[in-house]
Amino acid sequence: MRLTVYLAGEIHSSWREEVKMKVAALKLPIDFVGPMEDHDRSDNIGEDILGKQPNSISKDAAASNFNNLRTELLMKQADLVIALFGEKYKQWNTAMDASAAVAFGKPLILIRNEAHHHALKELSRKANATVETVDQAVKALHYIFE
Protein backbone atom coordinates (compact mmCIF):
# COMPACT_ATOMS: atom_id res chain seq x y z
CA MET A 1 0.00 0.00 0.00
CA ARG A 2 1.22 3.47 -0.90
CA LEU A 3 -0.22 6.66 0.66
CA THR A 4 -0.39 10.23 -0.54
CA VAL A 5 -0.17 12.76 2.30
CA TYR A 6 -1.10 16.43 1.92
CA LEU A 7 1.12 18.63 4.11
CA ALA A 8 -0.92 21.70 5.10
CA GLY A 9 0.56 24.61 6.99
CA GLU A 10 2.83 27.59 6.76
CA ILE A 11 5.30 27.66 3.88
CA HIS A 12 8.05 29.71 5.50
CA SER A 13 9.94 27.04 7.44
CA SER A 14 11.44 23.69 6.51
CA TRP A 15 8.99 21.49 8.44
CA ARG A 16 7.88 19.69 5.27
CA GLU A 17 11.45 18.72 4.44
CA GLU A 18 11.85 17.42 7.99
CA VAL A 19 8.76 15.21 7.57
CA LYS A 20 9.94 13.96 4.17
CA MET A 21 13.46 13.15 5.42
CA LYS A 22 12.17 11.27 8.47
CA VAL A 23 9.65 9.31 6.39
CA ALA A 24 12.36 8.47 3.83
CA ALA A 25 14.67 7.25 6.62
CA LEU A 26 11.91 4.88 7.73
CA LYS A 27 11.38 3.78 4.10
CA LEU A 28 7.65 4.38 4.33
CA PRO A 29 5.74 4.20 1.01
CA ILE A 30 4.42 7.77 1.12
CA ASP A 31 4.18 10.47 -1.53
CA PHE A 32 3.73 14.07 -0.42
CA VAL A 33 1.74 16.93 -1.91
CA GLY A 34 0.85 20.32 -0.52
CA PRO A 35 0.33 24.00 -1.17
CA MET A 36 2.51 26.03 -3.50
CA GLU A 37 5.62 26.66 -1.43
CA ASP A 38 6.97 29.43 -3.65
CA HIS A 39 5.33 32.43 -1.99
CA ASP A 40 5.84 34.76 -4.96
CA ARG A 41 4.39 32.17 -7.35
CA SER A 42 1.38 31.70 -5.08
CA ASP A 43 0.80 35.46 -4.79
CA ASN A 44 1.19 36.10 -8.53
CA ILE A 45 -0.52 33.07 -10.10
CA GLY A 46 -3.76 34.95 -10.77
CA GLU A 47 -1.99 37.61 -12.80
CA ASP A 48 0.25 35.00 -14.44
CA ILE A 49 -2.87 33.28 -15.77
CA LEU A 50 -5.39 36.13 -16.16
CA GLY A 51 -3.13 39.11 -16.71
CA LYS A 52 -2.60 42.29 -14.74
CA GLN A 53 -5.35 42.98 -12.22
CA PRO A 54 -6.67 46.50 -11.47
CA ASN A 55 -5.68 46.54 -7.78
CA SER A 56 -4.18 44.44 -4.97
CA ILE A 57 -7.56 43.13 -3.80
CA SER A 58 -8.38 41.86 -7.30
CA LYS A 59 -4.87 40.40 -7.56
CA ASP A 60 -5.36 38.52 -4.27
CA ALA A 61 -8.81 37.29 -5.35
CA ALA A 62 -7.48 35.99 -8.66
CA ALA A 63 -4.57 34.22 -6.97
CA SER A 64 -6.89 32.74 -4.34
CA ASN A 65 -9.07 31.16 -7.01
CA PHE A 66 -6.16 29.23 -8.51
CA ASN A 67 -4.57 28.40 -5.15
CA ASN A 68 -7.92 27.06 -3.88
CA LEU A 69 -8.33 25.01 -7.06
CA ARG A 70 -4.88 23.47 -6.62
CA THR A 71 -5.36 22.82 -2.91
CA GLU A 72 -8.79 21.23 -3.33
CA LEU A 73 -7.66 18.93 -6.12
CA LEU A 74 -4.50 17.77 -4.35
CA MET A 75 -6.21 17.40 -0.99
CA LYS A 76 -9.09 15.39 -2.42
CA GLN A 77 -6.58 13.02 -4.03
CA ALA A 78 -4.65 12.61 -0.77
CA ASP A 79 -5.25 9.72 1.58
CA LEU A 80 -4.40 11.73 4.69
CA VAL A 81 -3.72 15.35 5.68
CA ILE A 82 -1.16 16.60 8.17
CA ALA A 83 -1.74 20.20 9.26
CA LEU A 84 0.99 21.99 11.19
CA PHE A 85 0.25 25.04 13.31
CA GLY A 86 3.67 26.59 13.86
CA GLU A 87 4.95 29.18 16.27
CA LYS A 88 5.75 32.22 14.20
CA TYR A 89 3.28 32.82 11.38
CA LYS A 90 -0.42 33.59 11.20
CA GLN A 91 -2.21 30.30 10.68
CA TRP A 92 -5.33 31.19 8.71
CA ASN A 93 -4.46 29.01 5.73
CA THR A 94 -3.62 26.11 7.99
CA ALA A 95 -6.98 26.42 9.74
CA MET A 96 -8.77 26.59 6.40
CA ASP A 97 -6.92 23.55 5.03
CA ALA A 98 -7.45 21.49 8.18
CA SER A 99 -11.15 22.36 8.16
CA ALA A 100 -11.36 21.45 4.46
CA ALA A 101 -9.77 18.08 5.23
CA VAL A 102 -12.47 17.43 7.83
CA ALA A 103 -15.19 18.55 5.39
CA PHE A 104 -13.76 16.29 2.65
CA GLY A 105 -13.72 13.35 5.07
CA LYS A 106 -9.93 13.07 4.94
CA PRO A 107 -8.13 11.60 7.93
CA LEU A 108 -6.31 14.44 9.69
CA ILE A 109 -3.26 14.60 11.92
CA LEU A 110 -3.03 17.99 13.58
CA ILE A 111 0.36 19.20 14.82
CA ARG A 112 0.11 21.97 17.39
CA ASN A 113 2.05 22.78 20.52
CA GLU A 114 0.47 22.95 23.95
CA ALA A 115 0.28 26.76 23.80
CA HIS A 116 -2.23 26.44 20.94
CA HIS A 117 -4.38 23.89 22.75
CA HIS A 118 -7.19 26.26 23.69
CA ALA A 119 -7.34 28.12 20.36
CA LEU A 120 -7.53 24.86 18.41
CA LYS A 121 -9.61 22.75 20.78
CA GLU A 122 -12.60 22.33 18.44
CA LEU A 123 -10.46 21.57 15.40
CA SER A 124 -8.36 19.19 17.46
CA ARG A 125 -11.51 17.25 18.43
CA LYS A 126 -12.36 16.87 14.71
CA ALA A 127 -8.88 15.58 13.84
CA ASN A 128 -8.18 11.86 13.94
CA ALA A 129 -5.04 12.55 15.95
CA THR A 130 -3.48 15.61 17.54
CA VAL A 131 0.24 15.67 18.28
CA GLU A 132 2.70 18.31 19.39
CA THR A 133 5.71 17.60 17.17
CA VAL A 134 6.71 16.54 13.68
CA ASP A 135 8.38 13.47 15.22
CA GLN A 136 5.07 12.39 16.75
CA ALA A 137 3.30 12.86 13.40
CA VAL A 138 5.93 10.70 11.67
CA LYS A 139 5.51 8.04 14.36
CA ALA A 140 1.76 8.10 13.64
CA LEU A 141 2.49 7.56 9.94
CA HIS A 142 4.87 4.73 10.78
CA TYR A 143 2.19 3.07 12.93
CA ILE A 144 -0.16 2.92 9.92
CA PHE A 145 2.26 0.52 8.20
CA GLU A 146 2.91 -1.79 11.18
Phi, then psi, of 86 in degrees rounded to 5: -85, -175
Model confidence pLDDT, tens digit, residues 59-99: 999 999 999 999 999 999 999 999 999 877 668 889 999 99
**Nearest in space to 134 (alpha carbons), one of 23, 3, 1, 4:** 23
Model confidence pLDDT, tens digit, residues 93-138: 899 999 999 999 999 999 999 988 998 999 999 999 999 999 999 9
